[in-house]
Structure 1
Amino acid sequence: MVAHDRLAHQSRIVLRLGQMLLACGASSYRVKDSMAQLARAVGIEQHHAQVTYTEIVATAYANGTFRTELAEQRQMGVNADKIDRLSNYVDSLEGKSLAVEDVDAALDGIDRVPVLYGWLRNALASGLACAAFSFLNHGGVVECSAVAVAAFVGQLLRRWMMRHKMNHFGVWMACGAVAAAMYVFLVKAAGGLWGIPPTHQAGFISAILFLIPGFPLVTGIIDLIRQDFQAGISRLTYVAMLMISAGAAVWMVSLVFDWSVTPSYDYHLHVVALYSLRILASFVASFGFAMLFNSPPKVCAAAALIAMIINPLRLVLVEELGMASPGAVGLAALAAGLLATVVARRTRYSRVTLSVPAVVIMIPGVPLYRSLAYLNQGLVNSAVASLFTVLFTIVAIGVGLALSRMLTDQHWLVEQPRAVPKLDEESVRRW
């Protein structure tokens, strides 16, 4: 049984890597591929894994025996910095043979790395990102200012609640309600103090856009495209539940304060000033969301540079050339994936940590939350129109990212056959 005992240690360390990646928000494909690479490095002949959003079932074969283990991962979140650290470590193992103890020590070191941003910088990133998002959604000075403060407060509350490991759906509902109510309070106060007219109501949806689960949404789409249906469906179900929780908060606030979710105000700027500000807003929004994903500053800047190229061009295609919005979004997502690949090949950053912050600002969060509010107000036609806009746009993002991966990654274009494990006759008799 010496061989099986040794395999138990090897399988455990590979499973630990999978759990760490899953806890950081990595896609099923990345988890399985990284586990297989580490398995080869520690002496496992073949490794097969089934990965969902919360569980890993893995079977390892070595020295004429095998071992199957199951692990449940209940820690859900996003940590792009650790995804890159773990991916870079796994990539460095190519052609190497390591002892389990050495791998364990390396994973301990990565696990001890603290989050990159404290509560203040994290909350400021949320406020600035949502304010920039508000401008991209035709918000003016009043909307952007109120959104920045409301999203700052909402993110402070979310970070505190997540640190105390509270239920995610309750966290999203509470933070959505607090941020939306804060926006209402600020606009009403501005009206009372400075006589600002009540035409800035709809901006309060932008105040909760920091609650858009953009990272699991994109990785869930990637899982589906890779035919990892269990992982993709469970991840997207989690995303849908979070959005419904935040949407319920929007509805409650709009009902209590009799607050409109339909815009009645828009800015009018010269085209040069408009697109200059849109370029700046795209950079700020993407940089802020990358910080919320715990990406290092250089990764945030790289993702923001990609966003400031693709997002204004998307708006030009829609507003100046009359292209349908989903088509423009798909082309922008394709461009984001290709640019992320170019940057990733010249750095130690992964494509997903570069592309997700760049495309997350194209996720139509305002129409999504507005559609939920319309449903609760009985405006079915308006709700259905908004929902279809959201669905087609999300599908376009997935198609664009998938095409970029197929064009640049042979493993995405051609499905690689997996060898069927076989045991020798002696092992069969023994078991």
Structure 2
Amino acid sequence: MNVLIIGSGAREHAIALKLHESQYCDKVFVAPGNAGTAKFGTTAAIDTHDFEELAKFATDFNIMMIVVGHENALVEGIHDYFQSSEYLKHILIIGPTKAGAQLEGSKDFCKAFFSKYNIPTAQYQTFTEDTYKDAVEYLRNHSYPAVIKADGLAAGKGVIIAQNFDEALDALEDLLRNKRFGKASSKVVIEEFLQGIEVSVFILTDGKEYVLLPEAKDYKRIGEGDTGLNTGGMGAISPVPFVTDEFMQKVKDRVIDPTLQGLQQENIPYTGFLFIGLMNVNGDPYVIEYNVRLGDPETEAILPRIKSDLFDLFTALHEHRLGSFKLEVDPRTAATVFLVSGGYPEGFEKGKEISGLDQVPEDVLVFHAGTKQDGDKLVNNGGRVIAVTALGDTMDEALAKANAAAETITWQDRVYRHDIGFDLRNPVKAK
């Protein structure tokens, strides 16, 4: 069977690698892909927003399965587009319909869903430009820190943690009045700051049954010690030490089960991944957000730990066999370190030649994100450029291998964090 992966990041590179390894997968295609995905699949230079061209490609190359890595295509309704066509609806889509994708596409919708189905989350209110004065008054009486979020998709950069009223007011002005993220910030969600430690939990579900994937913890801030601006992700660790069986049972009972029950009650079909961003608050899980696809950089940490055939897992999803699927997971720790362009997440320069990839040990995985082949040179072509993943019997062993490999990969002004996993050496204990 031929498979098309939609997206161009390190997540899609990791998915391409796993599908390339499958005994059941004939050919892998990636649209639009990057310089790294070309090693495991054929690159198709198609914009992820161009559903008509993607449909033509799927027909021309006998695509039978599409794995949607990128959230934009899901929120824009790629699943619905293929389902609505007689000659495309036979294609298996890994990713929810537009209705299900609202869980990521609108934070206001998601928070309302939490409230309706008693899923633990932070207290919140939503505001628009028309209720700007109410938002200011709400912030004036709010406790700090406060969390301010653009309602729509903002590439992982639409969340501001304001330490005081002045910072919150600046963020509100930037999002609502200056439209920093365009339509995505036409609404703003203001919520309480939860004190705890984050973890990302993933399931693959058909809307009723699900398979629980390895959990991970990612690191969003650009600077050491979790300082500076939010990014798309600077690294990840899997498994997470404080995620005990007892903690995970709470996640299943309080979050996963009511979420699937809510989707069924709302008549929202769902076939794909669900990323559950959690905060461990004194041993209790609170949901920060949902994503309707695999996370990045978490994917680069969790997929290398999955020993089961990924294509077989996707087939089980569409044959409604997830309840009996036994996922085999490597017990070792995976550590992922992301190398980014200097200046990211704000302004940065592209076209800088990348060197040192040939020095990376064979047992360390290198996933391309913002890379491009320029003649015989590999150059940076984005903010987050390369993810390096290593496995080890301990977290420290995995980190040592990942950091050593990261150091060998260089280009002008490249940056990476040396402290991924720093907070897990003395983790918050889950009860």
TM norm structure 1: 0.28
Higher normalized strand content (fraction of residues): 2
Structure with greater helix percent: 1
- Bigger Cα Rg: 1
TM-score (norm 2): 0.28
